[in-house]
Amino acid sequence: MLEPYKGRVYDPCCGSGGMFVQSEHFVEAHGGRIGDIAIYGQESNYTTWRLAKMNLAVRGIDADIRWNNEGSFHKDELKDLRADFILANPPFNISDWGGGRLREDARWKYGVPPVGNANFAWLQHIIHHLAPKGVAGVVLANGSMSSTQSGEGGIRRAMVEADVVDCMIALPGQLFYSTQIPACLWFLARNKNPGHGWRDRRGEMLFIDARKLGHMVDRTRKEFSDEDIAKISGTYHAWRGEPEAGSYEDVPGFCKAASLDEIQGHNHVLTPGRYVGTAPTEEDNVPFEERFAALRVRLEKQLEEGERLNTLVRSSLSKVSGHG
């Protein structure tokens, strides 16, 4: 969806470097030159950091990956970096991130994140590191879309009002090896009117509900097909007004471009299901009178069946009591 063809790519919690490798695969698959991308990352786990360095080295990818055991919040190794693309899959809902020691931090532009949950610290750290036309994609726990405890609702409201949230995607469960829970994707943009032929999308956000997409590949895990991915990313590109992406249309049950007023009407809750509505069913094409008549017949049959079962139960009970 982000298409990191060229520029600075950053991941503040890069793990073993999976996001970067995907970026390079993407560039290669689309005929770009690998040297067009500069890769930056930070990781707090020493073993994982070494894996990332190796992962990138064996692919001949030049990268600046920093390590310290304090992590991106407490010792930001790339303080002055402003990235064109940020791709991140931070650990969900961290409660021991040491937020109590960072109450007065320049990164908390939209509100001080709660000590008991780092989700909104990650989002604000990422926005802080975006270049003026930078865009970010972040995987987060679903709670981040609607939580109101400990000031999270206020931070989310401030982010929406500042127009830095571009698109929200609800994902199905079972997409990850490590957790069965469904997650969501946040897309952030510093500038929703960036030029280069795209349309001005200020005051608007795209919501995509992808929970019904995907197929099971084994008993516990689901995957998106290439068609699923093309459907989601194509919708985003069309909505952004990218040349040759086709025209965008709301699709009930799947996607909706919502105005700031609509989002305010939902108290700045960003769960796509609230906006996309429901997909039309075949029943919607049947006149109400016909549907009502059919439902009435079905209800009468069920009531008759209920009476028959009641009689059966009474008769069985009387036999049992007769035995007594």
Produce one character per residue of 209-248: b if its CB has 16 or more CB atoms within 10 Å, e if not.
bbbebbeeeeeeebebeeebeebbeebbbbbbebeebeeb
Residue 298: the pLDDT is 86
The total of other beta-carbon atoms located within 10 Å of residue 91's CB is: 13
Q: What is the DSSP string of 205-236?
A: EEEEE-TT--EESSSS-EE--HHHHHHHHHHH
How buried is 315 (Cβ within 10 angstroms: 0-12 exposed, 13-18 middle, 19+ buried)? Answer: exposed
Residue 315: the pLDDT is 87
Listed by start position, the domains of the chain span 7-276, 282-323
Residue 268: the pLDDT is 97
Q: Domain 7-276, what architecture?
A: 3-Layer(aba) Sandwich (3.40)
Ramachandran area for residue 80 (φ above 0: left; ψ -120 to 50: alpha; else beta): alpha
Which secondary-structure segment (H or E) carries 38? Answer: strand 37-43
Question: Which residue in this structure is represented by tokens 């908390």?
Answer: 108
Per-residue pLDDT of the chain (324 residues; tens, 9 = 90+): 999 888 999 999 999 998 888 888 888 887 877 788 899 999 999 999 999 999 999 888 889 999 999 999 999 999 999 999 999 999 999 999 999 999 999 999 999 999 999 999 999 999 999 999 999 999 999 999 999 989 999 999 999 999 999 999 999 998 887 777 889 999 999 999 988 889 999 999 999 999 999 999 988 899 999 999 999 999 999 999 998 999 999 999 999 999 999 999 999 999 999 999 987 765 556 777 877 888 888 888 889 888 898 898 988 888 887 765
d(CA 249, CA 136): 23
DSSP alpha helix (H) spans, 37-151: 46-57, 71-74, 119-128
Residue 323: the pLDDT is 67
| Contact status, residue 232 vs residue 213, Cβ threshold 8 Å | yes
What are the structure tokens assigned to 66, written together? Answer: 């920093």
| Contact status, residue 93 vs residue 143, Cβ threshold 8 Å | yes
Residue 320: the pLDDT is 83
What are the structure tokens assigned to 18, written together? Answer: 């999976």
